[in-house]
Amino acid sequence: MTKCTRRSFLKISGVATAGVSVAATMPEQFLSWAESQEELKQVPTFCELCFWNCGLIAKVANGKVIKVDGNPLSERGRGRLCGRGNAALGSLYDPDRLKHPMINSGKRGEPKWKKASWDEALGLIARKLETIKEKHGPEAVALFSHGTGGAFWKHLLKAYGSSNYTAPSFAQCRGPRDVGFTLTFGAEVGSPEFYDFSESRYIVLLGSHLGENAHNSQVQDIIKGLDKGAKLCVVDPRLSNIAAKADHWLAIRPATDLALLLAWIRIIVTEELYDADYLKAYATGLPELKAAVQEYTPEWAEKETEIPAETIVRVAFELASRKPNVIISGGRFSAWYGDDAQRSRAIALLNALLGAWGRPGGIYLPAGGGVPEYPGLPEYPEHREDLPKLDAAYPFAAAQTTTSIRNAAISGQPHAMKGWLVYGCNLIKTMPDRTETIKAIRNLDLLVAIDILPADIIQWADVVLPECTYLERHDTLSLGKFKQFEVSLRQPAVEPMWESKPSWWITRELAKKMGLDAYFPWKDGEEYLRTRCEAGGIDFTELKQKGVISSAAKSAPYITPLNQPEFATPSGKIELYSNQLSEKGLDPVPKYTRHPQPTDGFLRVLYGRSPLHTFSRTTNNFMVTDLIPENYLWVNSKTALKLGLTNGQYVRLENRTGFKSPGTIKVRYTQRLREDCVYMVHGFGIHSREMTRANNRGIGDEEMLAGYTVDPLMGGTGMRHNFVKIVKEG
Ligand SMILES: Nc1nc2c(c(=O)[nH]1)N[C@H]1C(S)=C(S)[C@@H](COP(=O)(O)OP(=O)(O)OC[C@H]3O[C@@H](n4cnc5c(=O)[nH]c(N)nc54)[C@H](O)[C@@H]3O)O[C@H]1N2
Ligand SMILES: Nc1nc2c(c(=O)[nH]1)N[C@H]1C(S)=C(S)[C@@H](COP(=O)(O)OP(=O)(O)OC[C@H]3O[C@@H](n4cnc5c(=O)[nH]c(N)nc54)[C@H](O)[C@@H]3O)O[C@H]1N2
Ligand code: SF4
Ligand SMILES: [Mo]
């Protein structure tokens, strides 16, 4: 940790000359520090307001964080933070935070909270977990997790004897994409993605709204690429911020992207626009692919997508003319329509045909690297081999799906499911079909929520454990595979407030109560991290000082005669035609099927991200709610006029089952959206009175969802068949 004086800080930050107007917006802590002669402590750590995990430096005075800045050493942010990252103080100093453990003495879902000591709360959880293990076996307990601290909970779960670890960020998010790419290349595109945007010469984005999706370094990279002359084609029913910068905006009819992709593949294979040498060296199945896509002509695709055939052809030729320095990306969130792994595979096929994998401006080959786990821990107990797999129906479920855990809790099939540990997940809002989620929760013997806020999920918990925020804790390391391998450290800038605690502590104390101490030998968070770093040859003192350490050697990010790629597919090659799929009775080349479109005055709900919010994580954060307090309903102006809506008017939504939204949402006229859709950002529509700024603000897209379609390959849940009517108030 380095220190700077008040004077040098004022000079660096420009505050000394900025005068009264800046002072008026400065937090109180800052002003009192500026008045004092205190030295400013600088603590490098990393952000958790989303999972990009940008390095940041917390400026601390009088025991309070007064400001955060980007850490220039971090490849994830390169000295910058996004709008959410800058709102760190709004998370840390949120007066609505969970302050002490709580036990529900009422019914599940109608909580009567009793303040509890840690000893009492953890004792109760330990007893219940023991009982579940005795009655049903350890597999009857599952962990849902999102965020860095989840690693300690996963470790606890495995030590307890269960492997039922799941996350909405798989089957409700990027799982379909990862499976589509793995089937094709034998590897995922990574997280952070290995997109070499800054060197690209042609970029196609389908339903990826980078910029609003504020993944820090990736936004910087795409802007760099565009500055250097890359062409950009954005496929989106809405003119997103990035579409506004594009050479082509293709306002596709929603749910028809696969038609467009197959037409592009057909043009590229029939006109032989592909990278022939590359395919010869690295791919198999070109003739089979060619034969399989013949029906997908541009004229056919025009009818499905409403994109003119000549535009489809033009983009294909432009794109191919810039191969192999191209990226075709379908975004990160890919659980759209139920055929999502196949749509993602079509995207992977296009990248393959144009030779983008392992090429400059394409998908680079990431640096290797890792840090060993804490040495000397006992082996996890063996899992029972005879138990039926929860995801047996999905041959390519690369991770456990949330829905099969939910189904098991409802039906007891294929085995009992009685306890849920929910870490940093707001399942009420992030799993499709709330009724099913609640049905499952009612069947449990125990639901523990580990959170920082009284979010919607808290209302369904038996025991609530308050984690301290990322600025108050040590956590596991964040490892990044970029062109260099990078290790980031989280360390506390200030002491945990109230009775909140970090996960390394909570899990250790809980483990002790279950006789699992041997798995948690660390004295404290720092000792845990130091030991792992030492085992991995990383200078922990340097890491503490810098926050981020990158490997000295650069990897070889591109294919050269001496740097040949490996593809972990059964054939060892890029699989343009997939025997793995045909062996399971699935389409070896993606096939188009038509999805329902809204009729009878219904409009499709499109959803995405606000650049200043992360789902429901920030909807109560006073630093961003000042700017964006609620979500808006984008309505095409023509549609709005037809429906007699005025700009700024509050409306309700009604879905296909007749369900009316509990909350209201403000209409926003726009010409940046197709007439058959409405658009809103996800995360609002919180119903928790204790979240005073978020409660009942706006509507959640998930509240209106009447059904979802399941991906037969990997169990992802397509959540974009969401049709609504607009209901005027009064
Ligand atoms: N309908 C619909 N469903 C969706 C999406 C959508 O857009 N629409 N998005 C999907 C996507 S892309 C994803 S990735 C998933 C995400 O879904 P989830 O995995 O459920 O995650 P979040 O919504 O990030 O979870 C937010 C919870 O984490 C808590 N939290 C915040 N910080 C911390 C912390 O430091 N520690 C702890 N313990 N808790 C914390 C918040 O208070 C909140 O309760 O949802 C998916 N589901
Ligand atoms: N600021 C901010 N950034 C975030 C997050 C956040 O919460 N806030 N969350 C992070 C997470 S976990 C994820 S997964 C990513 C998600 O970010 P992205 O992967 O970029 O994607 P989405 O949220 O799916 O994309 C929304 C876009 O898809 C368009 N769309 C809707 N339907 C269709 C369709 O049928 N076809 C096409 N072509 N487009 C369609 C919408 O109009 C919208 O512009 O963002 C990450 N970044
Ligand atoms: S992108 Fe923004 S919110 Fe996400 S980690 Fe980086 S600074 Fe934090
Ligand atoms: Mo996500």
The predicted model scores a pTM of: 0.95
Q: Are 424 and 150 in contact (CB under 8 A)?
A: yes
Instruction: Check pLDDT > 90 for residue 16.
Output: no
pLDDT, mean of residues 607-620:
96
The Cα-based distances of 505 to 473, 509, 525, 599, 610 in angstroms read: 10, 6, 8, 54, 33
Listed residues 36, 65, 92: the one ending a domain: 92
DSSP 661: P
pLDDT, mean of residues 514-518:
98
pLDDT in tens, 252-261: 999 999 999 9
Do residues 710 and 662 share a domain? yes
pLDDT of residue 39: 78
The reply to whether 589 falls in a domain is no
**How many A from CA of 567 to the centre of ligand 2?**
29
pLDDT of residue 383: 81
pLDDT of residue 25: 42
Instruction: Check pLDDT > 50 for residue 180.
Output: yes
pLDDT, mean of residues 215-241:
98
Q: CATH number for the domain including 287?
A: 3.40.228.10
3-class secondary-structure state, position 696: coil
Do residues 146 and 258 share a domain? no
Query: Of 698, 670, 687, which is closest to residue 610 (Cα–Cα)?
Result: 698
Using alpha carbons only, give the angle 83, 85, 88 rounded to the nearest 5 degrees. 115
pLDDT, mean of residues 619-639:
96
pLDDT of residue 461: 98
**How many A from CA of 505 to the centre of ligand 1?**
22
The Cα-based distances of 1 to 44, 66, 356, 493 in angstroms read: 7, 16, 42, 10
Do residues 506 and 613 share a domain? no
Q: Of 220-229, 424-433, 721-730, where does mean pLDDT reach its minimum?
A: 721-730
Listed residues 67, 92, 117: the one ending a domain: 92
pLDDT, mean of residues 620-627:
95
Sign of the CA dihedral 154, 156, 158, 160?
negative
pLDDT of residue 28: 63
Core vs surface per residue 349-372: b (16+ CB within 10 A) or e: bbbbbbbbbbbbbbbbbbbebebe
Nearest atom in ligand 3 to 49's CA: 3
Instruction: Check pLDDT > 70 for residue 3.
Output: no
Core vs surface per residue 585-594: b (16+ CB within 10 A) or e: ebbbbbbbee
**How many A from CA of 609 to the centre of ligand 2?**
6
Q: CATH number for the domain including 63?
A: 2.20.25.90
Computed over its alpha carbons, how large is the radius of gyration of the chain?
Answer: 26
Q: CATH number for the domain including 706?
A: 2.40.40.20
Is the Cβ atom of 702 under 6 angstroms away from ligand 1? yes
pLDDT of residue 204: 98
Is the Cβ atom of 147 under 6 angstroms away from ligand 3? no
3-class secondary-structure state, position 189: coil
- C-beta neighbour count of 205 within 10 angstroms: 22
3-class secondary-structure state, position 729: coil
Using alpha carbons only, give the angle 683, 687, 690 rounded to the nearest 5 degrees. 105
Percent of the chain's residues with pLDDT above 70: 94
Q: CATH number for the domain including 125?
A: 3.40.50.740
Q: Which residue has the tokens 């303040």?
A: 115
**How many A from CA of 214 to the centre of ligand 3?**
7
Q: Are 636 and 674 in contact (CB under 8 A)?
A: yes
**How many A from CA of 145 to the centre of ligand 1?**
9
Is the Cβ atom of 201 under 6 angstroms away from ligand 2? no
Amino acid at 390: L
Is the Cβ atom of 609 under 6 angstroms away from ligand 3? no
Instruction: Check pLDDT > 70 for residue 706.
Output: yes
Order of strands, sheet of 446-451, starting from the edge strand that comes earlier in the sequence: 113-115, 102-104, 463-466, 446-451, 419-423, 141-145, 165-166
Here the tokens at position 653 are: 């939504």
Is the Cβ atom of 606 under 6 angstroms away from ligand 2? yes
Do residues 207 and 303 share a domain? yes
pLDDT in tens, 106-142: 999 999 999 999 999 999 999 999 999 999 999 999 9
Instruction: Check pLDDT > 70 for residue 14.
Output: no
pLDDT in tens, 467-494: 999 999 999 999 999 999 999 999 999 9
Residue 34 pLDDT level (bands cut at 50, 70, 90): low
Domain range for 21: 6-92
Is the Cβ atom of 162 under 6 angstroms away from ligand 1? no
Q: Which residues surround ligand 4, an ion (CB under 5 A)?
A: 173
pLDDT, mean of residues 701-707:
96
Do residues 413 and 535 share a domain? yes
Query: Of 283, 179, 287, which is closest to residue 713 (Cα–Cα)?
Result: 179
- d(Cα 110, Cα 93) in Å, to the nearest integer? 28
Residue 289 pLDDT level (bands cut at 50, 70, 90): very high
Dihedrals φ, ψ of 54, to 5°? -65, 140
Percent of the chain's residues with pLDDT above 90: 92
Is the Cβ atom of 722 under 6 angstroms away from ligand 2? no
